[in-house]
Amino acid sequence: MGDDRGTDVGGPRGHGQAGRAGRTRPPEPTRTGLYLSVFAGVVVAVVLVFVILRFEANRDDASGFAGSPQRTTARPSGSSGTTAGRGGPVPCQSTGGLYCFPRATVTSVADALKVQGATCGKDGSDIACRTGSGADGSQVSVQAAAADLDQLATLSMTTFSRAPGNNDAGRVRVVGQLVRAAPTVLANLLPGETKTQGAIRTWLSGHLNKCPDGPITIGGYKVWCDPPTRVTASTSGQLVSTWTAGLTIDSATAFPPR
């Protein structure tokens, strides 16, 4: 019985040792596998960085686009200037709801016309500046927003041609005078608003012979023209015909451009 116990005890120990010896270790990674793992990690990192950079760039673009309308701010009430980068009428000072020209004043326009050879004087509540001879010429009238203000609300320019008889040639003369005088008058009235000046000149050239029934809006201003019109009268027994044509630019009843 002693031999059997020894065999029983020794048998299991020998079996456990054989089991431990029979277990296999996992294979060690080769150099090629290691290189592939490193390469894959680098590729993933590069792709991740690229995605992050693209996301940041798109977010910056989106925020810049969303904020662009805020670059143009509303004009403060009572301001006599314009918001940077914008033209158009501005609220007049102490006139309750009227709008005025942003840079030009009654005095600045009249002074500029005087330098250019006009003779200016009071015409009721307006200032009228006249150029040309007694027969052919032009008159520019500037109206203040209020009697005690120098802020300019409305400018009207009229050209005229007077001659005995029917004066058929007068129609062409008044149109030509108005088109030629417009650039100088607009430069005095709308300094810094070159696009609006050009748009008004273009519109005037295309519509003066047949003006629309009502005003249109250009650059925030109300603009209308008076087509060539002839008035014939007898003076001292002689028939005399006078042609006139006109252009008016108004800010007092205009709304600022949005």
Q: Would you tell me the crossing angle of helices 170-189 and 194-207 to the nearest 10 degrees?
A: 170
Are 115 and 177 found together in one domain? yes
Are 105 and 153 found together in one domain? yes
Are 211 and 159 found together in one domain? yes
Q: What pLDDT, on the 0 to 100 scale, is given for residue 190?
A: 97
Judged by DSSP in three states, 240 sits in strand
Q: Is 185 within 8 Å of 157 (Cβ atoms)?
A: yes
Residue 99 lies in a domain: yes
Are 169 and 62 found together in one domain? no
Q: Which residues span the domain enclosing 60? A: 33-71
DSSP letter at 38?
A: H
Judged by DSSP in three states, 125 sits in coil
d(CA 223, CA 203): 9
Number of H helices, E strands in the chain: 5, 9
Is the whole-model pTM more than 0.95? no
- From the list 65, 242, 76, 240, the residue with the least C-alpha distance to 159 is 242
Residue 22 lies in a domain: no
Last-in-domain residue among 13, 44, 71: 71
Question: Domains in the chain: how many in total?
Answer: 2
Last-in-domain residue among 42, 71, 100: 71
Q: What pLDDT, on the 0 to 100 scale, is given for residue 46?
A: 60
User: In tens digits, what is the pLDDT along the chain, a chain of 258 residues?
Assistant: 444 444 444 444 444 444 444 445 555 556 565 566 666 676 666 666 555 555 444 443 333 323 322 222 222 233 333 333 367 999 888 667 789 999 999 999 999 999 999 999 988 778 999 999 879 999 999 999 887 789 999 999 999 999 999 999 999 999 999 999 999 999 999 999 999 999 999 999 999 988 998 899 999 999 999 999 999 999 888 999 999 999 999 997 755 543
Are 150 and 212 found together in one domain? yes
Residue 237 lies in a domain: yes
* 90's tokens: 């501005």
Are 58 and 161 found together in one domain? no
Q: What is the 3-state secondary structure (H, E, C) of 185-237?
A: HHHHHCCCCHHHHHHHHHHHHHHHHHCCCCCEEECCEEEEEEEEEEEEEEECC
Are 43 and 153 found together in one domain? no
- From the list 242, 226, 249, the residue with the least C-alpha distance to 173 is 242
* 22's tokens: 């029979």
Q: What pLDDT, on the 0 to 100 scale, is given for residue 257?
A: 45
Q: What pLDDT, on the 0 to 100 scale, is given for residue 39?
A: 65
Q: What pLDDT, on the 0 to 100 scale, is given for residue 31?
A: 59
d(CA 200, CA 216): 10
Q: Is 137 within 8 Å of 128 (Cβ atoms)?
A: no
| DSSP H stretches of helix in the chain | 2-22, 31-67, 106-115, 170-189, 194-207
Q: What pLDDT, on the 0 to 100 scale, is given for residue 34?
A: 59
Are 59 and 146 found together in one domain? no
Are 155 and 226 found together in one domain? yes
Q: What pLDDT, on the 0 to 100 scale, is given for residue 233?
A: 93
DSSP letter at 76?
A: P
Q: What pLDDT, on the 0 to 100 scale, is given for residue 95?
A: 60
